[in-house]
Amino acid sequence: MNVKVVVAILLIAAVPVCAQAQSPSVPKVSKGDAEKVATIISGDKAKTQAYCEMQKLARCYRPDSHEATQQ
């Protein structure tokens, strides 16, 4: 009975270590991809307006933002 408990504890402890050892497979964004997205957004007035509004909101919620400290 004690052997089963010890094995179970070791397995539970080993799983997070194995999960951390794996590197995430996130694709790299190239400069060309970023330029393509910027071209698509800048070509459409509605998308440009939405992007600007999102950036304004992001600045308001960023704790180190200068605008957020003045409001």
Q: What is the pLDDT of residue 41?
A: 76
The residue-averaged pLDDT of 14-22 equals 67
pLDDT of residue 14 exceeding 80, the answer is no
Q: Is the pLDDT of residue 19 over 80?
A: no
CB atoms near residue 65 (< 10 Å): 13
**Reported pTM:** 0.36
Please write the tens of the pLDDT for every residue from 28-71.
888 888 888 888 878 888 888 888 888 888 888 877 655 545 55
Cα separation, 14 vs 6, whole angstroms: 12
In the chain, what are the domain boundaries?
41-71
The half-sphere exposure of 7 on its side-chain side, counting CA atoms within 13 A, is: 4
